[in-house]
Structure 1
């Protein structure tokens, strides 16, 4: 088996993370309402711009367990993927913390 540098091995594994993204949406410390509004704003703006990748960072679970924004934000992103607004949706690699790597579809090309 050939040896790959860690950077290229992660690419083959699909481990796209914060360093690979065009932008970072940091929702750490945000309330559920603020996070939902930020995601909705990102999705609405993306429909009129160029395709780009965004790393969405979330708070880890609190000490002793508890709710995070992972599930509600994940549901919103999954719904946007079903609508065709997102081309790629995956979780961030473990070393980047909790969150998602999203490739926004951008404005559809018009046929001439």
Structure 2
């Protein structure tokens, strides 16, 4: 879309999803403790590597309703965003299922002084 700035063109195209992410973390079928441990490990490792994007997939709500990992995972990722470990956090587009698109900050660059 040559007539739009990238930011607005991305809004017209829709949210970033599975095909836009550099890697995918599939937490479907995981229990809460395992999912939180996996997310914490990803965030901890990201502090020592270059920034990257990750699509995090979660189970949809069960038939008739019930608890999902969406809220606990979202809280954990939002806290990481507040601490500066995550640059961008958004939900996956509806076509990709339940989950998040996350841009990890990575290791801060040092100024060559």
What TM-score, normalized by structure 1, do the two folds share? 0.89
Instruction: Supply the distance in 2 between the matched residues of 1:12 and 1:65 (Cα, whole angstroms).
Output: 31
Residue 20 of structure 1 aligns to a residue whose secondary structure is coil
Closer/same/farther in 2, CA of residues 41 and 26 from structure 1, 3 Å limit: same
Q: CA deviation at 1:111?
A: 1.3
Runs of 4+ with deviation above 3 angstroms: none
Instruction: Supply the distance in 2 between the matched residues of 1:69 and 1:16 (Cα, whole angstroms).
Output: 20
Structure 1: which 5+ runs fail to align?
Answer: 3-8
Residue 19 of structure 2 aligns to a residue whose secondary structure is helix
Structure 1 match to 2:16? 16
Structure 1 match to 2:65? 65
Instruction: Supply the distance in 1 between the matched residues of 2:44 and 2:111 (Cα, whole angstroms).
Output: 22
Instruction: Supply the distance in 2 between the matched residues of 1:77 and 1:32 (Cα, whole angstroms).
Output: 14
Structure 1 match to 2:105? 105
Instruction: Supply the distance in 1 between the matched residues of 2:50 and 2:97 (Cα, whole angstroms).
Output: 27
Alpha-carbon RMSD: 1.6
Instruction: Supply the distance in 1 between the matched residues of 2:9 and 2:110 (Cα, whole angstroms).
Output: 35
Residue 48 (structure 1) aligned with residue 52 (structure 2):
no
CA contact under 8 A between 1:10 and 1:16: conserved in structure 2? no
What TM-score, normalized by structure 2, do the two folds share? 0.89
Q: CA deviation at 1:79?
A: 0.2
Once the two structures are superposed, the pairs formed by residues 79-98 of structure 1 within 5 Å of their partners are 79-98=79-98
Instruction: Supply the distance in 1 between the matched residues of 2:52 and 2:23 (Cα, whole angstroms).
Output: 8
Structure 2: which 5+ runs fail to align?
Answer: 2-7
Residue 56 of structure 1 aligns to a residue whose secondary structure is strand
CA contact under 8 A between 1:51 and 1:105: conserved in structure 2? yes
